[in-house]
């Protein structure tokens, strides 16, 4: 029985360490809820502070979506250029076969 316990000991230690780390993260989650400027802007009840916080929010969304838009643009350009090249190749083969049969 002791041999079985030693076999699973590192796993138990890993789970304990993971639980401690998770508890620490959850304890400081309220402190790291947002960047200080956004947090203070939302805490204030004046419209100017809330407008600044909304501006930060939209700028973060813009920065997060820009790489995906650029990647989608390049992928669509590559897809359409490959499709166009295959269509041109098929037309060339078809015209060559037509010329050979005549």
Alpha-carbon span 30 to 12, nearest angstrom: 29
- pTM for this one? 0.48
CA triple 30-36-19, angle to 5 deg = 25
The better pLDDT of the pair 97, 34 is held by 97
Query: What are the tens digits of pLDDT across the range 5-56?
Result: 556 567 777 778 888 888 877 776 555 555 666 566 566 677 776 777 778 8
Query: What are the tens digits of pLDDT across the range 50-66?
Result: 777 778 888 888 999 99
- C-alpha 55: how far from chain center: 21
- Reading the block at residue 25, the tokens are 């993260």
């Amino acid at each position: 029985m002791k041999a079985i316990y030693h076999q699973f000991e590192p796993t138990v230690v890993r789970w304990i360490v993971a639980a401690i780390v998770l508890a620490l993260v959850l304890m400081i989650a309220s402190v790291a809820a947002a960047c200080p400027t956004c947090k203070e802007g939302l805490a204030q009840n004046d419209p100017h502070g809330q407008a600044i916080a909304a501006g930060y929010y939209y700028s973060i969304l813009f920065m997060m979506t820009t790489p995906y838009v650029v990647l989608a643009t390049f992928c669509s350009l590559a897809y359409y250029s490959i499709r166009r090249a295959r269509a041109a190749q098929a037309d060339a083969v078809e015209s060559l076969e037509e010329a050979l049969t005549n």
